[in-house]
Amino acid sequence: MTVVTTSRVKMTATPITRVLGVLALAATGLMALLGLVVSPADVVQGEAVRMLYLHVPSIWIAYGAFVLTSVSSVLFLRRSKRRADRGRHYDRLAGSAAEVGVVFAGITLITGMLWGKVTWGTYWQWDARLTTTILLFVTYLGYLALRRLPADPMVRSRRAAVMALISFVNVPIVHYSVDWWRTLHQKASLSVGRRPEITGEMYWTLLYSTVAVTIVAAWLIIHRYRVIRLEELRDEEALEALISSRLTKDDGNN
């Protein structure tokens, strides 16, 4: 990915992220092979179980990305007054993680709907897990909308940081909704401190898929962070050029 908008930074890729990109591509290919060919069909769910190898890791990545957004937002709020750079890198990290989180939350919803059509016979059920997930998705869409508003960057970033913290309240609600309410949605397939609901090749494929999707998400977040930085540099350079052209014009008039 090459960007030639500024004189100071020309690329969003470095040798390390190129390696990460190749690794992400290879990991995704192997994930497809394991999920579609090696892993067997489920006795109850049949071939539809293959959807879970993308569905489950996607929501975990979305949760992780939203955790990263919240932590970065706290650090941004703490440092925005004290540091010379005003903690802008934390704001960028929060924004890029939220964007990736929203993409993976969207993938979770789409794969869940497709799985629901095969298994439940309908794309959508007003079940607690589905309803809270779509609310989470819309809340973070609002967060991204707030980040794109035409306003002073620091004001916008500060408001977005507070919103990220409030929005995070939804994450545990989504995750524990299957335990707190009676839902059609099955319990978590993998959960810390609880025996896995699946075993054998399915278990290992799901575990591997989580690792593969994590690599893809990390690659996306890094590149998104750099693109945001490039956009900021472009805006700063455009402003500097505008000011200098104005000064030159004023000198000419005098």
Partner 1 sequence: MLAETLLVARKDLRVEWRAKVALGQVTPLALLILVVFAFALDANTSLLKLGAGGLYWVAVLYGGTLLIQRSFDVETDDGNMDAFRMSAISAPSLFLGKALALFVQIGLLELVLGLGIAFFYEVRIVDWALLLVAATAGTVAFSVCGVLWGVMSAGLRVRATLLPLLLVPVLTPVLLAGSRAFETALGVRADAGWTWASLMFVIAAVHTAIGLGAFGFLLEEG
Q: Which residue, among 172, 206, 154, 177, has the nearest Cα to 66 in the 3D structure?
A: 172
Answer whether 52's CB lies under 8 Å from 44's CB: no
Q: Which residue, among 58, 82, 104, has the nearest Cα to 224 in the 3D structure?
A: 104
Q: Which is nearer to partner 1, 76 or 115 (CB)?
A: 76
Binding site for partner 1 (CB under 8 A): 77, 135, 138-139, 141-142, 145-146, 149-152, 154-155, 158-159, 161-163, 165-166, 169
Q: Least distance to partner 1 from the beta carbon of 141, Å?
A: 8
Q: Which is nearer to partner 1, 29 or 153 (CB)?
A: 153
Q: Which residue, among 139, 59, 72, has the nearest Cα to 101 in the 3D structure?
A: 59
Q: Is residue 7 exposed (0-12), middle (13-18) or buried (19+ Cβ within 10 Å)?
A: exposed
Q: Which is nearer to partner 1, 48 or 173 (CB)?
A: 173
Q: Least distance to partner 1 from the beta carbon of 159, Å?
A: 5
Vertex 110 angle, CA 104 and 115, to 5°: 120
> With the C-alpha atoms ordered 174, 105, 43, 32, is the resulting torsion angle positive or negative?
negative
Q: Least distance to partner 1 from the beta carbon of 142, Å?
A: 5
Q: Which is nearer to partner 1, 52 or 98 (CB)?
A: 98
Q: Least distance to partner 1 from the beta carbon of 14, Å?
A: 33
Q: Least distance to partner 1 from the beta carbon of 241, Å?
A: 23
**Buried (b) or exposed (e) across 36-50, using 16+ Cβ within 10 A?**
eeebeeeeeeeebbb
Q: Least distance to partner 1 from the beta carbon of 170, Å?
A: 8
d(CA 18, CA 243): 37
Q: Which is nearer to partner 1, 123 or 180 (CB)?
A: 180
Q: Which is nearer to partner 1, 99 or 215 (CB)?
A: 99
